[in-house]
Every structure is written in C-alpha cells, then in structure tokens.
Structure 1
C-alpha cells in the first residue's frame, strides 16, 4: 500500500511516466489491438441492461456532476457485474486512493481523487472522481500507468480501464511501452458505447485468465 501512495505522489504527467518509469507510447499500430479485436457478442438481456444503465446515468447526471459513490453504483458496478468480474475465478484488490488536483479556468484549484480496483493483479479498473468538475481522463492515465509499471512481471501484458463515469478508455503496458485506446462516452446520441466497453472488458477478462 505504501508503494502505491509513493507512486501517486510522484507520477502525475506523461513526461514523468517516461522519465521516472521509462515507459514510452508505442508507435506500433499492432501494439494494442485487443480493444478492437473480435469481441464477444452481447445477449439481448445484457443489451437491455446496458440501455437501462445508460438511462440511469443520464437521469442522475441531469442535476450535475456525479460523485464517486454514485458513479460506482449507477455505472461501474453494473458493468463489472455484467462482465462476470464478481464471480469465480476473478478476485479484486483495492489500491490506496490518490488525491489529484488541476487548475481551473479562473485559477481555482480543483481537487479530486483516483481509486483503483485490480483484477487478478493484471487488470486495473481506475475511477477518477471530482466534487466540482469532471476531470479529464488524461489526468488519470499517468497514475494508471504508474500502478501497472510497479507490477512484479512487467514482461507480461497488463491492461487498465480508466473512467470518470462519463467517458472510458483502455490502456495496455508491455515491457517499457504502453498503448491507449479510443475514448468511449456514455453520453452518445446515436449509439450506446457501453456495449463496446462491456465487450472489451469481457475480452480482457478472458485474456488475463489465459495469461
């Protein structure tokens, strides 16, 4: 746990990710294809549940930014349940929360925090939360990479999902490189991006069991 706090205090930018961890963004288009590979299909029941999750989110967020516990209940927990991550053989551990801050447009310091659930010690589910604004996921990616870089077996592929409840992206590390997926938004007028998020989670869940 102490290790995680030290990482959180010292790795907050992509420059630090490279300088302190030696991780560089891969330029190989084939480095991180798992998020767009042939993904598992969703059942009608799963799709109906995700439509309800999306409606629940849009209803709750209509009154303002959702706080962390609400995001967990309304969006994240249903996704993890549908992915099967609350069942055997999957096991979670929790990292120590890390405080984050950014400067707002008027010079005000905006504060939030990052929580991480680690599945099978190979898949990081990272939630970024703020009480006054929605932090850009860019702020959470260096933190996620820092957690992953501290893994005892960096030569095996490790994965992460970073979310603030409204947006999602996936990351991968292998050796001294990392890759980042496209961004998926809960609020999408013409499609439910939670379908893709769940399909990717299911696929990554299977990959980490096989590795």
Structure 2
C-alpha cells in the first residue's frame, strides 16, 4: 500500500536515506552567493530600505502570513532582480510529487513560488512566532528541488520568512549534493537585504 508523505514533514535524514543526499564540504561548491556579486545601485538601496521599513511595520501585528511576506518583501526583490521580465515567468502554488516505488512512498506538497527555467525555487514560510527558524524548513525546500525535471543543471532555492533568508544549491552529478549560504536578515542595523538582492541578480544572470 502506497504511503503519502507531506513535504513539510520530510527531514534531512529522510532525504539522505531515500535519495543519497549529501552536504557539500567544499565552499567552492556554492560560490554564487558570495563571489563576484553584481553592484547594487543607490536607487536600489533606497528601495530596499523602504522594503525593510514596510516589513517592520507589518510585524507590529502578528502573525505574519505568507501572502503578506510575498507582497511586501519577496515581490520587490524578484522585481529588482529581473525575474518578472523575459526570459523568466512565475508559477505560484505549484504542486510537486516524488514517487519512491521501491519504498512504496510518495512525497506530496505545494511550493509557494516557482521561478521557471526549472532552476530557481522560492519557498515562503508562514511565520507565526518571533523565533521562527528557517533551518526547520530547509528539508522541505530540498524535497521540492529534488523533484525538478532537469537533472543536468544546478538548481537553486531561497527560503524566507520575510525577515531571514537562506539560499540553497543542489546538483545531481552522480550524487545529489547540496550546500547552504549564510543566513541573512533585514533586522540588523545594517540590513543584509542588499546582499540578498545581489545574490538574486547573480542567479538571474546564471539562469539566462
């Protein structure tokens, strides 16, 4: 009998056991989040400062729902990075299903935002408490990324709850291998939204 598993209930250990997933040990595996990043203009910085102010106003009335995070934080970032213009297009609430025939299991879930090219997956988390940790949701993002149809190119992901951001890279050259960026936050006095945008702009260049 087939067992259905929700993607949000999948852990890293499960992905390691079922898919042979490995964490990259070498920093050179994922240089895209820190190496040769595009410049951020003064106008873009001004816009990002406004995004930060808008988010801080949003958190005064919790809980912070994922649709609000998409509208206030993620949408401006995707716009500035060029993901709303050709050759990119956006699909939302995309269903995924991974079948493990030998184990009699099927992983199911819905991703919140998918930038097609089948190479950039963006997962928005509904943050309902102040100390919400993104690390709890890395495995969910990886489960979605493993399901992508193009196994020959690297796949990138971004997990965010509006205030914090982690980038992910996944490759499948003989072995499924992934790595994480540092965790960025807009809550610092010197907001790290600038580097988040620079990384997204770098990824948009790579995916073209």
> What's the TM-score, normalizing by structure 1?
0.82
- Distance in 2, Cα, partners of 1:208 & 1:188: 30
Residue 16 of structure 2 corresponds to residue 18 of structure 1? yes
Q: In the alignment, is the contact (CA less than 8 A) between 2:166 and 2:183 conserved in 1?
A: yes
Q: Cα RMSD (Å) of the superposition?
A: 2.1
Q: In the alignment, is the contact (CA less than 8 A) between 2:168 and 2:179 conserved in 1?
A: yes
Residue 91 of structure 1: aligned partner: 89
Q: In the alignment, is the contact (CA less than 8 A) between 2:38 and 2:202 conserved in 1?
A: yes
Query: What count of residue pairs does the alignment treat as equivalent?
Result: 189
Q: 1:108-187 alignment to 2 at 5 Å?
A: 115-131=112-128, 135-175=132-172, 176-187=176-187
Q: In the alignment, is the contact (CA less than 8 A) between 1:65 and 1:134 conserved in 2?
A: no
Residue 204 of structure 2 corresponds to residue 198 of structure 1? no
Residue 59 of structure 2 corresponds to residue 61 of structure 1? yes
Q: Structure 1, unaligned stretches of length 5 or more?
A: 1-5, 99-112
- Distance in 2, Cα, partners of 1:7 & 1:122: 24
Residue 188 of structure 1: aligned partner: 188
Q: Structure 2, unaligned stretches of length 5 or more?
A: 97-109
Q: In the alignment, is the contact (CA less than 8 A) between 1:134 and 1:164 conserved in 2?
A: no
Residue 106 of structure 1: aligned partner: none
Q: In the alignment, is the contact (CA less than 8 A) between 2:95 and 2:111 conserved in 1?
A: yes
Q: Secondary structure at the match of 2:166?
A: strand
